[in-house]
């Protein structure tokens, strides 16, 4: 995926200031994977998956919400991990070997996950804790 402006489904625009390919994951302290329709594209990007693998290999904080865990499934890092996600993909993370929990936030070592936008407060709280 390229750098440059991206328009969300509600019309908000953000600027992707770096492409996955140009990222040196060693320069970053946390990886946050948001939800929506992005993860179904991101999971097909080999460079994105390499970033995810780096964070798990180095045991550095990863936070994923809603459809975000789809990227973790494709990176092969969710097996045996306690996690949650958007309920519509629950059976997919279970099939991939995750230990699914229906909680607003689930923390398993370096991994923080939440279900939906209503969980954002708990998601942010636990994410910040991992950074401290």
**Any contact of residue 80 with a second copy (CB under 8 A)?**
no
Total number of residues binding a second copy (CB under 8 A)? Answer: 16
- Phi and psi at residue 38, in whole multiples of 5°? -60, -45
The reply on whether position 44 binds a second copy by CB under 8 A is: yes
Site map 88..117 versus a second copy, x via CB under 8 A: xx-xx--xxx--------------------
**Which of 69, 58, 52 has the alpha carbon at shortest distance from 105?**
69
Q: Which of 67, 70, 111, 126 is catalytic?
A: 67
DSSP state of 72: H
- What does DSSP say about strands 62-65 and 82-83: parallel, antiparallel, or unpaired? unpaired
111-114/106-108 β-pairing: antiparallel
State the residues that interact with a second copy by CB under 8 A: 40-41, 43-44, 70, 73-74, 86-89, 91-92, 95-97
The catalytic site residues sit at 67
């Amino acid at each position: 995926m390229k750098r440059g402006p991206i328009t969300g489904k509600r019309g908000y625009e953000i600027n992707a200031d770096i492409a996955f390919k140009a990222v040196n994951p060693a320069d970053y302290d946390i990886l946050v994977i948001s939800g929506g329709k992005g993860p179904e594209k991101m999971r097909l990007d080999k460079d994105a998956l390499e970033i995810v693998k780096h964070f798990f290999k180095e045991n550095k904080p990863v936070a994923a919400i809603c459809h975000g865990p789809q990227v973790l499934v494709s990176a092969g890092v969710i097996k045996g991990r306690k996690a949650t996600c958007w309920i519509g993909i629950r059976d997919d993370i279970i099939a991939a070997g995750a230990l699914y929990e229906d909680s607003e936030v689930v923390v398993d070592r370096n991994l923080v996950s939440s279900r939906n936008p209503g969980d954002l407060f708990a998601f942010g709280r636990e994410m910040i804790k991992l950074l401290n």
